[in-house]
Amino acid sequence: MSAKNSDARTIRIATRPSPQARTQAGYVAEAITAATALPCELVFVESTGDVRAEVPLHQMAGQGIFVKEVQRAVLDGRADVAVHSAKDLPTEGDPGLVVGAWCARRDARDALIGSTLSSLASGSTVATGSARRRAQLRAARPDLRFVELRGNIGTRLERIPENGAIVMAVAALEILGLTEKVAEHLEPTVFVPMVGQGCVAVEHRFGDAATREALVAIDHAPTRHAVETERAFLAVLGSGCSLPVGAHVDGAGTITTFLAEADSPGARSVVMQADVSDPDTARLVAAELARVSRREVSGR
């Protein structure tokens, strides 16, 4: 980030204080300054998800537990923009905020840390707080056991079960320079990532034209197309969807979606694919996949 300039406006960036969040917010600040010459400063805000780090994610209602307080800092004027991992952002946005930039996506895949999938002995333990990841791994390896995993990245890396593994987003490891920890990258057409995984979203107040103009310079059009298409899939299911769900648009314009009826052994699940390269129809196609997937897993 550049030094403050008394003649230039400073863009205040609200972010969670975790190492991953502050690092990705720092990248956003550097990109804004490089593109506009405007200085930036970080404003740290603790989220509900951070404060209640001991509570399993599935026990906290709905999406938004990592973003609401950060958004509030922008809405009440303490900050000009809010930076989030796009996968944490509810599909039903706050009407007072606009996503001004979907930053260029990092690796969207999940990865195993501690062991490859084939090397895990029968009955091995995998730690993850994600219902989606459990459902997908259970489909591939019904013999595996699962335990909860919460905390920041450093904490999670210290909690690899003996002779087992943990699951993490590759992008999170990339941000902190920890990709050497990866034992196996999981194929995204089978282990479908969470909607928006690997992307950083930047919101600003509705009507703030000056900030909107600054963010245009860091918005990445291919990522915007991919993430907004994935979010169209999730929107049909509802922001509060508690079912195991994922969607990913690859560089060729193919969307792969995943939905399971429950996070339990033997639960029905469906993986679907479609071409969403046409921006005029992409969201409609994704929405239809969601409706079909919901019918498939419900058996109706």
- CA 224, 230, 232, 237 dihedral sign is negative
Task: Among 53-62, 69-78, 172-181, name the one with the lowest average pLDDT.
Answer: 53-62
Average pLDDT over residues 85-96: 91
pLDDT at position 52 is: 47
Share of the chain above pLDDT 90, in %: 83
| pLDDT over 90 (residue 5) | no
- The vertex-63 CA angle with 256 and 98, nearest 5°, equals 85
| pLDDT over 60 (residue 48) | yes
| pLDDT over 60 (residue 74) | yes
- Active-site residues: which are they? 88
| pLDDT over 80 (residue 51) | no
pLDDT at position 2 is: 39
| pLDDT over 60 (residue 54) | no
CATH no., domain 110-185? 3.40.190.10
Q: Which residue has the higher pLDDT, 260 or 7?
A: 260
- Kindly indicate the confidence band of residue 66, based on its pLDDT and cuts at 50, 70 and 90: confident
| pLDDT over 90 (residue 4) | no
| pLDDT over 50 (residue 201) | yes
* Distance from the first to the final alpha carbon of the chain: 54
> Would the pTM of this model clear 0.95, i.e. be above it?
no
Residue 190 tokens read as 């089978």
Amino acid identity for residue 57 in this structure: L
Q: Which long-range contacts (CB under 8 A, 24 or more apart) does 221-228 make?
A: 222/104, 222/251, 223/102, 223/103, 223/104, 223/105, 223/199, 224/102, 225/249, 225/279, 225/282, 226/105, 226/199, 227/86, 227/102, 227/105, 227/195, 227/196, 227/199, 227/201, 228/102, 228/282, 228/283
Helix (H, G, I), strand (E, B) or coil at 57: helix
Mean pLDDT, the chain, rounded, equals 91
| pLDDT over 80 (residue 104) | yes
Match 């049909």 to its residue by tokens: 236
Q: Tens of pLDDT along 204-220? A: 999 999 999 999 999 99
Q: What is the DSSP letter of 117?
A: T
Q: How far apart are CA 27 and CA 5, in angstroms?
A: 19
pLDDT at position 180 is: 97
| pLDDT over 70 (residue 61) | no
Q: How far apart are CA 95 and CA 49, in angstroms?
A: 22
Complete DSSP assignment for 212-231: HHHHHTT--HHHHHHHHHHH
Strands of the chain, DSSP E: 11-15, 40-44, 81-85, 97-102, 110-113, 125-127, 145-147, 165-169, 182-185, 200-205, 245-249, 254-260, 269-275
Question: Residue 130: which residues within 8 A CB-CB, separation 6 or more?
Answer: 57, 167, 194
How long, in residues, is the chain? 300
Q: What is the dihedral of CA 264, 53, 169, 88, to 10 degrees?
A: 90
Q: Are 237 and 123 in contact (CB under 8 A)?
A: no
| pLDDT over 60 (residue 7) | no
Q: How far apart are CA 289 and CA 198, in angstroms?
A: 22
- Kindly indicate the confidence band of residue 299, based on its pLDDT and cuts at 50, 70 and 90: confident
pLDDT at position 8 is: 64
Question: Phi and psi of 34, rounded to 5°?
Answer: -65, -35
Residue 173 tokens read as 């490891």
| pLDDT over 90 (residue 174) | yes
pLDDT at position 60 is: 41
CA 205, distance to chain mean position in Å, is: 21
Q: In terms of C-beta density within 10 A (0-12 exposed, 13-18 middle, 19 or more buried), how is residue 145 classed?
A: exposed
Domain ranges (residues) in the chain: 110-185
Report for 7-11, 18-22, 57-61, 222-226: range of highest mean pLDDT: 222-226
Q: Are 208 and 12 in contact (CB under 8 A)?
A: no
| pLDDT over 60 (residue 87) | yes
Q: Are 188 and 71 in contact (CB under 8 A)?
A: no
- Kindly indicate the confidence band of residue 108, based on its pLDDT and cuts at 50, 70 and 90: very high
